[in-house]
Structure 1
Amino acid sequence: MSQEPLPKLDLRLTQENLDDLYEHAPCGYCSCLPDGTLVKLNQTLLDWLGYTREELVANWCLQQLLTTGARMHYEMHCAPLLLLHGQVREMSYLLRRKDGSTLPVLLNATLLRDADKPLVVRVTLFDITERRKYEQELLRAKTQAEDQSVQLARANEQLVSQNEQLTRINADLDSFVYTASHDLKQPLHNMVGLFRELKRTATFHDPEAEQLVGMFDGALQQILDTIAGLTEVVQLQRMLEQVPVEAVPMLSFTEEIVRSLRERLPEDGATFDLDFSAVPTLRLTRPGLHSILFNLLSNALKYAAPGRPPHVQVRTAPADHNHVLLSVQDNGLGIDLERHGRDLFQLFRRFHPEVPGSGMGLYLVNRLVHQAGGRVEVASTVGEGTTFQILLPR
């Protein structure tokens, strides 16, 4: 195998002036006696320091070129190491320039001996200004990161404390709601009984009395429905804390809810289209899933469009690797999301006053879905229907 001949060497490269190499090397050189007295410096080091050769040679010691801290370190640490081992490597010092500024350098030194007697110290100095800037920047970044870490830790402690406080407040509120609703039930039932007896025995001569009686009856029923709804929210919350999550077979589970709804809300011609072939089971607590589906399906029947048989589609589908989608779509009255979107899941919000209700169903659905680690999205067109899409963890 033939090889290309190498180019001829320019002989001028072998004729470099050694003195010039020493004087203008990219690093500083100096030689000093064992006590530090300077006997030789190259031009690079002189240029760095701003002194002339005459000012330093035989007049200054190496230690005098160092800052106070560096000088103490050199005399207490570096000089003894030189005597012991004959060399030191990569000592970081600050040199003092003639103008008072400082220059960060790395110092390497070798001690030459003559018959075991210290003769001269040869010193090489490397300018590490850019390295020092980089190190300082890293140190600032580290300090800033540590400060931010402390701030984040404090913020996290505050969030944990606030979360614990909110948990206690929610528990207290649930207990208060449960106790208040329980204590109000009996007096309200007494009022209902008394009112019914009043209607049975009393005679009203005012032509508007019948309307007023009906309004009062409706108000009483609304109060009873609200109390029942509040009690259901608290009882269901307490129940879910004790009931385990399980894989619920969707088809049989939903069919049972549909049968129950047909008995409670008989709607002529209502049809249900159930398709769970893509995801046959969902992992939730049975009471929680029952409440979610029961509220959405009963709303689909209650808010049916006049003159159009209710048609409800319930489906499951994979959303991504970690989530599944449960959708409930109806062809009912629909909701004006531009007007009511922000209040959709608020407690006691109702968007069709002509239809009886407590305004708690969607609040409960949203609360249960969030408790299960999911979220609810809604699409609706007034007069055409509403679709609830519930994203749940697998």
Structure 2
Amino acid sequence: MDNKLTASTINFKKPAVVGFLVFVIVLLLGSFIFWQRYRILSEERNREMIGIIQVIENNISQPLKSSYSAALSQALLIGDDGQIFDFEAKAPQLLEANPNLDAIQLVPKGIITHVYPLEENRAALNYDILADETRNEEAFRAIEKRRMYFAGPFQLKQGGLAVVGRLPVFIDNEFWGFSAVIIKFENLLEQAGFNELSRGDYQFQFSKYDPETGKENFYLEGDISSNAYSENILFTDGNWKVYVAPKNQYAPFLSLLPLAGLIVFLAIWLGHLMKKLLKRPEKLEAVVEAQNLELYNSNLRFRKIFNQAAVGMARMDTRTGKFIETNKRFRDLSGYSEEEITKLNYKQLSHPNDNEENGILMQKLLQGEIREYSLEKRALKKDGSIYWVKLTVSPLWQPGDEPTSHISIIEDITKNKEAELQLNKSYKMLVDQNKRLVNFSYIISHDLRSHSSNIQSILDLYEISELQEDRDNYIELLSKVTANLNQTLQHLNEVVSIQNNPDLKKEPLKLVDFVKKTIEHLEIRIKEKQAKIFIDIPREAEINFNSAYLESVLLNFISNSLRYSDENRNPEINIKATQREADKWSLEISDNGIGIDLERNKEKLFGMYKTFTDRQDSRGIGLFITKHQVEAMGGEIEVESTPGYGTTFKVNFQ
């Protein structure tokens, strides 16, 4: 008994030792908290720098992509024989359509022969790029890779620092020269956002490795290359680097100095307090009560933070996945009351397609392979609507213990995710537009060359003909050819109008009203054909579409069903609308006409001037225009057809 008393009272006889130990422990714990907070601030700053780099990359990528389109358009001014057509007329239009450019050039055999604007760039005329050993390395690289390459920044012959993008042009696999664009360096920096971003907490540097010496050249004031916090990214089209670094490297540390002072103060105070308490054991019970009160207040503060947090929080039963308790923010996000949500598990609030990944990560958490995890997933509200969340899961059991419950932090990222999806959609639209541009250039090249060849042939025959009767016949033929040329130009103009107006006004339209209006418009032809029209469209079928386009689409499909009907039976046309999703509809137009051999014609079905019958009134332009109108509104067309039995066109509206 005496030994126990001695052991239990030894610490009270040395309060200074106990106070010092408390000081050391609190100081170590505070140092750990300080280090963790410093790491968080440093990581946040690094993420911010990465975000800034991504913004700069996106800002630079846009003018580079636009420059590529401008260079490609300029290259179309070069004929198959290498001659340059209408540069003086087209160059101002190209520059006006691409305000990010400062000048454009055509450089046959490496020699600048055409430039716009001319006056401020006259000094560059007749300059041989390939002969200049100080500048030709990047030009030869563009020829070798057969793709556009951005050289510079360097001083231009006409003065000023600029970046030059050179697109090599090949005719019959032989190098013809370059289609070049010029962006002044200060304009590139302005478009990239350097001027605006440099006003904040970061400094920037723009550099490029010299292709001959391998030396890295810097173009902005200041030296940050040795800064350990810098980030850089490589632009492959121009072999440039952009650096970003904080203006004050020690800002996170300096911002935590008050915390460090507080930690030292708390360590000293608690050590002194413990020493004082051990000296006054009679007041220990009062101190314990005070500490219990502080613990109670801390718990109240925790409950307040839990319930008023700006993000959703939930404590979950790890084994069953049921909600034990949730905060107000999460209940507002999900739409459930506190009573309702405790009867559910997380799978009932998750999108079915996103449960698999969540389940795999939860198994790893249960097996001790990971201590926490985060993922982005779709969640379901009480009303069935979908929203995106960032889910972070942390266990409330210690390693080695039996799993009990965990904390889930749910952050609503719907707006960011929708912006990301919209960006991907814009990128896909850009790719599709580029594909259509290439196809359109092929069409122009083929059709206009065909008409011009016919005109030239007729004029040649006219010149060598000596009989007036033959000459009159040639004049008549010339009139027909020019009429066909005019019709082709009208068709091409209509296609360009569709492709250049992707943002045409959309409005809610009742499908059944437009179908009936189209049938009334075709009433005479329907009676002539003795056709039967069957309509199965719910009154609530409503789509967001351009009204003029919808009239054109319906008129093309229904008139085609009448035009290509089978002579051995009366036409029957079925028009049906079905609902694919909550607010998305599909329209099917089926007929019993002559049909289309899709095995032979599917790939060219919607091609311009592609016909599949011997009828004289077939022009091959209707389906081409209809497809572009539907796609311009974000929809798509499907087709099923059997020769001799009929055709079904299905339009999926967005």
Q: Compute the TM-score of the two structures, normalised by the length of structure 2.
A: 0.32
Structure having the higher Rg: 1
Q: Compute the TM-score of the two structures, normalised by the length of structure 1.
A: 0.49
Higher relative contact order by CA 8 Å / sep ≥ 6: 1 or 2? 1
